[in-house]
Structure 1
Amino acid sequence: MKQRLTSIDVFRGMTIMLMTIVNNPGDWSHIYAPLEHAEWHGCTPTDLVFPFFLFIVGISTVLSSPVKRFDSNTFERIITRALRIFLLGLFLNFFSKIHLGTLEGVPLMLIRLVLTGIATVLLLGDFDKKKQFYAAVGLFVFMISLCFSGIEDFASVRIPGVLQRIAMVYLIVSVLYATTNTTTQIVVGLVCLLGYWALMALVPVPNVGTANFEKGTNLAAWIDNLLLPGHLWSVSKTWDPEGILSTIPAIGTALAGVFTGKLLTNDFPKNKKAIYLLSAGVIGVMIGFLWNDYFPINKALWTSSYVLYVAGWALLVLGVLYFIIDVLGFEKWTKPFVIFGVNPMVVFFFSGIIPRALNMIKIAQPENVETPNTGLIEWLYRHWIEPFFAEPKDASLAGALTYLFIWFLILLWFDKKKMIFKV
């Protein structure tokens, strides 16, 4: 029997709302510091978004299967879900690479949206489980083959990504949860964190020299460039913030969620659960902060100190929400957050697709010599939002909040129609 806690939906909803805001500023050149990632070492509120998702993945693994059972059907379900999540992320990277002859602008946008519709049906559609599995496997083989086919359009498609990491971590953690006991899971978590620290801090980097935690010259960057050349983050090109080696400690983030899920499904009184959540949160933040002196808190490297630090904050936020909603029973205010929390994958996926698509619609600006044509979203922001604000950062934030409100209206309609999309 699946369990559903309103506090988890609210926590997930808050996380997806913050993600929507930080990923869609009106102007990328003017953003308030808390809504930007740390430049390298350090942690801002924005750096909490992704690990909070992985933490929730761990919790959901327990809540969706409180009675552990591992057989061929369970394994097929896990593989199917992991592939569907991975492919949603990969399709986001494919979207802007899709071309058809000399088509551009609106005609090309329509072609891309038709393919997006097909991908949506295959990856978010609710149909026979066997067909879901075969569709996911087939699409995976097809898209990965395109990446390495030599076709120019797909020669630089980024293979890693946020959803791709979520998929890989979900796959590993789900199998661990279904096949091992808590002691083994704790050992695996410690090995992931301590082993990653040892690799990053002690192993010399080929062609570079001493082990280090610097941008582009560390062991994780070397492995990314060795195994996925040409298919990495476009900003760096030679390393990826969701790369291969740094996925190891990310398993620890999801395992922290698994342990939290076990606590929440335990028979402890609710007030004790809230105390345990908050206490564990304080401990996690403190250990992560202390470890920072030796292994800097860093999201791009997903350092072990970062894992503990952000898991601590996740426990603190969830502990407060759990106490307010599940202990005190005060939940009338939760509706806006819940509607985001029950449909996170739709928001994540289409928040990436919509701006890419709409900016393919070009608006002529004959008065602007430097940019005679601009994308629709850019044009709307410059003409309908920016002029009302004296401070550029306020205008940029207003643009992000406007996009969030549009999503709220969409999700409110989904809620009224009882529409929930699951991978």
Structure 2
Amino acid sequence: MKNRLLSLDVLRGLTIMLMTIVNNPGSWEHVYPPLLHAEWHGCTPTDLVFPTFLFIVGITTVLSTPRRVLTSGTFQRLLTRALRIFSLGLFLNFFSKITFFGLTGLPLLGIRLALTALVVVALFGEYDKKRQLYVALGIFALMMLLAFGGFEAYSTVRIPGVLQRIALVYLLVSLLYLTTSTATQVLMGVAILLIYWALMTLVPVPGFGPANLDKGINLAAWLDNLLLPGHLWSVSKTWDPEGLLSTLPAVATGIAGLLTGTLLQSTLSKNQKTAYLLAAALGGIALGWLWGTVFPINKALWTSSYVLYAAGLALLVLGTLYWIIDLRGYTRWTLPFVIFGLNPIVVFFFSGVIPRVLGSIQVPSPAQPESVSLQSYLYDFRLVPHFSNPLQASLAWALLYLLFWFVILYVLYRRRLVFKV
């Protein structure tokens, strides 16, 4: 990547490592509070993972763009990449709903894994650019047809998701970077935050009454349920934390990354860049906290205050890493983080597949006549007995899973294999 920054690679790796830990506890009933999302309003370290990744998407958009010119070829490349990322996320939501002529158990799991391999190979096969776009568009269209075409098995498959939001933000901020000036990006970022605040706090919610920020009955939830009924987050069913309206301020998070990338690519000295990064960090944290007193910091709603607060904290970590690594030159400790940051989409996608696989395989239970999933067997009967505290056992499972991924990613690193979407 042009103008690659080691501090940015470390931030990306740190983000992916934290994502791996918080997404894979041994038991969701026993998790240390900082490793859980805030119940509603508020912010935990876990709530900072996703916005930091979108922030990094904005930065890398700047650093990886050699020419700020939008051509038909460039647009085709951007659209293809966005469709690939969106389709990967959508396929994760389809995985556990795939049926095949009444098969169950291991035969059905084999079909699901075969389809996973087929989708991955099809999306990332070596084709000419036009065929890559057609294949990505075809896979996306097929899944949307299954979801909305009256097929009962897929009538409740979730459409939004983390990768889906990443795809949309990537496409929009890339187009914005290629077609507008930095000043225009600042104005658009501010406008998005103000417009979203006005929509969420001033516009009455049809069927519910005055504007509100309550769970399930706010404007964002109403729009999700209106446009994607039955295709939302299974926990809530009537709203989605990666829903449609809240994707608007997520674009502002990407714009914050664009502005940061522009700063990092400038001709300013490293000392000046560090000072600007840390000053912007403190400004974002302060503004986010102040705005949060009237428009609460909320990850599920992706409130404007949350955008500023999370971007400020991401800038604080990046600025500190930039000072330590790129300015002071302390780099010997960075390798584990770099290894995790090289293949982020691979980690996210297959971290979604692996728990589904472990949950699908049934094995005899040592303590009861009924069989249990392989994940339950490994966790409940092989790991938990070694701990007296269930919180420690749950965290140990997450750390072992992190170690599992480190071994895989280290092998890829040694073989110089980087899988780009």
Query: TM-score of the superposition, structure 2-length normalised?
Result: 0.98
Shift in Å, 1:123: 2.6
Structure 2 unmatched ranges of 5 or more: none
> Contact (CA 8 Å) 2:362, 2:371: kept in 1 or not?
yes
**Which residue of structure 1 lines up, in the alignment, with residue 88 of structure 2?**
88
- In the alignment, structure 1 residue 324 sits paired with structure 2 residue 324: yes
Counterpart-to-counterpart distance in 1, 2:333 and 2:56: 21
Instruction: Tell me if the contact between 1:147 and 1:157 (Cα under 8 Å) persists in the aligned partners.
Output: yes
Find the counterpart in structure 2 of residue 374 from structure 1.
372
The answer (yes or no) to whether the contact 2:365–2:377 under 8 Å persists in 1 is no
3-state SS in 2 of match to 1:333: coil
Hey, what does 2:153 align to over in structure 1?
153
> How far has the Cα of 1:127 moved from its partner?
4.0
Q: Which residue of 1 aligns with 2:268?
A: 268
Secondary structure of 1:11's partner?
helix
Distance in 2, Cα, partners of 1:289 & 1:301 = 16
Alignment correspondent of 1:181:
181
Question: What percentage of residue pairs aligned between the two structures are identical?
Answer: 62
Q: Relative to structure 1, is the Cα distance of residues 46 and 182 closer, same or farther in structure 2, using a 3 angstrom cutoff?
A: same
Alignment deviations for residues 320-376 of structure 1 (CA, whole Å, 9 cap, x no partner): 11111100111111111101101000000000001101221101226326xx22111
One-letter amino acid of the counterpart of residue 3, structure 1: N
1:159 deviates by 0.2
**Which shifted more, 179-188 or 50-59?**
179-188
Once residues 334 and 140 of structure 1 are traced to their aligned partners in structure 2, the CA distance between those partners, rounded to angstroms, is: 37
Moved over 3 A (4+): 124-127
Whether the aligned pair in 1 keeps the contact of 2:196 and 2:248 (CA below 8 Å) is yes
The alignment partner of 1:4 has SS state of coil
Task: Classify 1:415/1:127 alpha carbon distance in 2 versus 1 (closer, same or farther; 3 Å).
Answer: farther
Among 415, 418, 421, the residue aligned to 1:420 = 418
Which residue does the alignment assign to 1:237?
237
Contact residue 22 and residue 400 of structure 1 kept, 8 A: yes
Aligned counterparts of 2:273 and 2:66: Cα–Cα separation in 1: 17
1:11 alignment counterpart: 11
Distance change in 2, residues 1:125/1:407 (3 Å)? farther
Cα deviation code 1:109-137 (max 9, x no counterpart): 11101100011112344543222111101
**Closer, same or farther in 2 for the Cα pair 1:343/1:366, shift >3 Å?**
closer
Deviation of 1:295 (Å): 0.3
Residue 193 (structure 1) aligns with: 193
2:400 and 2:125 map into 1 onto residues whose CA distance is 29
Q: Which residue of 2 aligns with 1:98?
A: 98
Alpha-carbon contact 1:86-1:164 (below 8 Å) kept: yes
Partners of 2:383 and 2:24 in 1: CA distance: 14
Deviation readout 1:261-308 (Å, 9 max, x if unpaired): 000000111111111111100110000000011100000000000000
The answer as to 2:400 corresponding to 1:402 is yes
1:90·1:164 contact (CA, 8 Å) conserved in 2? yes
Deviates more, 1:220-229 or 1:129-138: 129-138
Aligned residue identity for 2:162:
V
Counterparts of 1:14-29 in structure 2, within 5 Å, are: 14-29=14-29
Q: Which moved more, 1:334-343 or 1:356-365?
A: 356-365
Separation in structure 1 between the aligned mates of residue 381 and residue 156 of structure 2, nearest angstrom: 34
- Verify the 8 A CA contact 1:125 1:421 in the aligned structure 2: no
Deviation at 1:318, TM superposition (A): 0.4
Correspondence for 2:37: 37
1:318 is paired with a residue whose SS is helix
User: How far apart are residue 66 of structure 1 and its match?
Assistant: 4.2
- Counterpart residue type for residue 387 of structure 2: F
Q: CA deviation at 1:382?
A: 1.4
Residues 233-284 of structure 1, C-alpha deviation per residue, up to 9 Å, x if partnerless?
Answer: 0000000000000011001000000000000000111111111111100110
Please give the secondary structure, in 2, of the residue aligned with 1:419: coil
In the TM superposition, what is the alpha-carbon distance from 1:3 to its structure 2 partner? 2.3
The answer as to 2:117 corresponding to 1:117 is: yes
Query: For 1:48-67, what aligned pairs fall within 5 Å after superposition?
Result: 48-67=48-67
Map 1:204-223; keep pairs closer than 5 Å.
204-223=204-223
Residue-pair matches, total:
421
Displacement of 1:46: 0.1
For 2:182 and 2:83, locate their aligned partners in 1 and report how far apart those are by CA, in whole Å: 26
**Corresponding letter in the other structure for 1:334:** T
Give the secondary-structure state (helix, strand or coil) at the position aligned to 1:164: helix
SS at match of 1:385: helix
Q: Distance in 2 between matches of 1:327 and 1:216?
A: 47
Matched residue SS, 2:251: helix
Which secondary structure state, in structure 2, belongs to the residue aligned with residue 298 of structure 1?
A: coil
Q: Which amino acid aligns with 1:53?
A: F
Mark the CA change 1:125 to 1:190 in structure 2 (over 3 Å): closer, same or farther.
same
2:361 paired with 1:357: no
Report if aligned partners of 1:66, 1:265 keep a CA contact under 8 Å in 2: no
SS in 1 for 2:333: helix
Aligned to 1:237, what secondary structure does the other structure show?
A: coil
Contact 1:347–1:407 (Cα < 8 Å) also in 2: yes
1:58-77 residue pairs with structure 2 within 5 A?
58-77=58-77
Following TM superposition, by how much is the alpha carbon of 1:79 offset from its aligned partner in structure 2, in angstroms? 0.3
Q: Output the amino acid matched with 1:189.
A: G
